[in-house]
Amino acid sequence: MPERVAKIAVSAATYWIDKPYDYLIPRELADLVRPGVRVYVPFSQGNRRSEGIVLALSDSSGYDRLKAILSVLDEEPVLSEEQIRLALFMRDRFFCTVYDAVKAMLPAGLWFDSDGKRRVNDKMVEMARLAISPEDAAVIAENKRRRSPQQANLLDLLCSFEALPSHELMRFTGASRQSLKSLCTAELVELYQREVYRRPQIHAEEAESLPVLNAEQAAAFAGLSELARSGKASAALLFGVTGSGKTSVYIHLIQEQLTCGKTAILLVPEIALTPQMLATFSSHFGEQIAVLHSSLTSGERYDEWKRVKSGKARLVIGTRSAVFAPVENLGIIIIDEEQEETYKSENSPRYHAREIAKFRCARSDCMLLLGSATPDIVSRYYAKTGRYAYFALHSRFNEQQMPTVRIVDMKRELRRGNGGNISSVLQEEIASNLERSEQSILFINRRGAHKLITCGACGFTYKCPRCSVSLTYHSANNRLMCHYCGYSTRIDPVCPDCGGTLNHIGAGTQLIVEELQQLFPDAPILRMDTDSVTPVGSHEALFEKFKNENIPIMVGTQMVTKGLNFENVTLVGVISADQSLYAGDYRAGERTFSLITQVVGRGGRGAKPGRAVIQTYTPDNETIRLAAQQDYEAFFISELSLRQIQNTPPFCDILTITASGQEEAQVVRACRFARQRLEQLLSGKKEIRFLGPTPLSVVKVNNRYRYRVQLNCMSDAAVRSAVSQTVIDCNTDKRFKGVAVFADSGPLD
């Protein structure tokens, strides 16, 4: 029998040499090597041992001399055929290696360290069970009761259970290990190992029946259900104002798919949203749920992945990476708050969860459902043009009115002598809420106390020595910190250049909390930002504290803007609505509209009416005005016309080639070369606009300068091939040694 050949993606292969490599399958490994298993292979001229994954098998190769596979790492394939196809798709679409894509799909606990040992092992528990019938055990226990009471107690307890963990058996009976061993020696009891799953804690609520749908929800569910049951790949957008009950529609759709024997994936944008979502869904689906997000321990994530792969869990809830869950017989993928940027990965592979979900739904002939109160402009455009089906929920599920919104002109506040960050209107509203024991949420999209510390005499500002940004002042520890590289230093009592007085400019969550404490000294205040939720699970603890202890005021960043449902929150304040409007990105208006709309929607979700106060220095700005009116359709029409003029998505795609390195001139030269190469490769294509080289918004991060070349065009195979070749040429050109060059599709900045 001739030796067969395996096509293998090798982890040591860089992007410019990444391809399936042919390796001989030794006869002794012939039964073990299958597509989807990982192997060790000799790679490169030094034949250094490298990990690889088998993509396919073949009876022949185009090469005469082949190296042989060294060993097989997995007993069963860790990737299915669909996942292998997905990895190849990701290489083409997101300019990464196949192995980078594979690493994104598999949990960290499944990988091996340098010594060839798995990073996380299966958790095994010693179990005890009777080796004889319960009737015989009861008789023997009675005979032993006087001479060996511990053994009798052990037998009595095991008569009532099929099996028990040995440590629990001894704890419940007070018996010693020696007594248990004696029963094993007498062949009355046997011990064995059983795998148990490390599961994240889910604050499950009592089992509930499916939520009752109102007329609007029922109509949306009927249309979506028909689409999901068609047996064809499809995509739909569910628009629903904040508080309209999109989650209830999700529950009915998932229940229908599970009843039909299929599986489902539900994605949420933030880990902070997962606990509330889990509590709701666990009351309907119980142990069928698996949770996948980055705050889990390696063991928990690995075991949840195994539960999904084995079919024990049929509904996966998680953040971006949960889109890779190894479910079989997929019925539906739901992406909640689909407009959120957290669905886009900023590290290789630079994928968007929505694109992965589209691929999986197309391969599985199932439905992708995108849900939002402020849909991505591109998604709404696709719905308008018929590419997506469209369903809408225009009213809140409890028939409550949307919060009444007041826009406060902060310039007028300054003229009246109020130089603080809390307007007189917002102060009055908070005071009113405190009197009624109602809760308030204040949103400002910046952590820390002050954005900038500067000298009024000479203009000195504190700059990060490693990044091209100013340091942010954190009053909690009286330090200045860079939010890009983590550098920190203490603040001087006076200007270090001229000895002048230092001024504090701009506000963050810490400063807002300090101002509130001065205004309302007796009111407990909760702060919610990445500084306060660093420990695992602390975001959940803070939300629980806010709800259960009825904390009057919560101040937070984007974490408080979406997905939260607190019935006693009746007031929402937006501290600096202008802040994200001037980011220099074509999506700045969309982001601002979404943030304001989402956070305003946190108010009045219970029986009490809601109010919102939006503080701004540009009260006539159209984006802020439409967000206050919660008028998404008017904003969409306005934004779409602007996008058409700019020739930005959805009217074209944006691809970038980014170079970074320690020498700025060399980085710029690499970008110039990249642009020239692109223009050469794409000279026959029309309607392509090249921009750059241009610096990124933060040009230096951690002592590396960053520049990019941008293409505005419709992305097709020819364009992606040209971009890929350009990246390879830049990274292999010796003139640009020390410069890292990568490509991205739809970058965030």
What separation in angstroms does the CA of 293 have from each of 200, 270, 319, 560? 10, 9, 5, 19
Q: What is the pLDDT of residues 439-474, one digit of tens each?
A: 999 998 876 666 678 887 888 888 999 999 888 888
Query: What value, to the nearest 5°, has the Cα angle with vertex 145 and ends 139 and 146?
Result: 135
Q: What is the rounded CA–CA span in Å between residue 96 and residue 444?
A: 36
* pTM of the predicted model as reported, rounded to 2 decimal places: 0.90
39 backbone dihedrals φ, ψ, rounded to 5°: -140, 165
Q: What is the rounded CA–CA span in Å between residue 438 and residue 326?
A: 44
The two structure tokens encoding residue 354: 């929505």
Bridge partners, residue 265, by sequence: 316, 333
pLDDT of residue 253: 97
H or E stretch covering 6: strand 5-10
For the chain, report the end-to-end CA distance as a whole number of angstroms.
56
Cβ atoms of 251 and 281 closer than 8 Å: yes
What Rg do the C-alpha atoms of the chain give, in angstroms?
30
In SS3 terms, 252-277 reads as HHHHHHHHCCCEEEEECCCHHHHHHH
The two structure tokens encoding residue 34: 């299958």
**In sequence order, what are the residues at sequence separation of 6 or more whose Cβ sits closer than 8 angstroms to the Cβ of residue 616?**
407, 408, 409, 410, 574, 576, 577, 578, 624
pLDDT of residue 271: 77
Query: What value, to the nearest 5°, has the Cα angle with vertex 641 and ends 639 and 643?
Result: 70
Q: What is the pLDDT of residues 597-644, one digit of tens each?
A: 988 888 888 788 899 999 998 999 999 999 999 999 999 999 999 999
Q: What is the rounded CA–CA span in Å between residue 623 and residue 523?
A: 33
In SS3 terms, 153-204 reads as HHHHHHHCCCCEEHHHHHHHHCCCHHHHHHHHHCCCEEEEEEECCCCCCCCC
Q: What is the rounded CA–CA span in Å between residue 51 and residue 72?
A: 10
509 backbone dihedrals φ, ψ, rounded to 5°: -60, -40
Please name the residue that has the structure tokens 């509590």: 279
Cβ atoms of 548 and 410 closer than 8 Å: no
Q: How many angstroms from the chain centroid is the CA of residue 623?
A: 27
Cβ atoms of 184 and 175 closer than 8 Å: no
Cis peptide bond N-terminal to 693, omega within 30: yes
pLDDT of residue 536: 54
317 backbone dihedrals φ, ψ, rounded to 5°: -120, 130
The two structure tokens encoding residue 107: 């949990």
Q: Which domains does the chain have, with CATH numbers?
A: 5-110 (3.40.1440.60), 124-195 (no CATH), 215-393 (3.40.50.300), 404-449+507-643 (3.40.50.300), 653-745 (3.30.70.600)
Q: What is the rounded CA–CA span in Å between residue 585 and residue 589?
A: 9
**In sequence order, what are the residues at sequence separation of 6 or more whose Cβ sits closer than 8 angstroms to the Cβ of residue 513?**
525, 527, 555
pLDDT of residue 1: 43
Positions in the chain short of pLDDT 50: 1
Query: What value, to the nearest 5°, has the Cα angle with vertex 499 and ends 495 and 503?
Result: 40
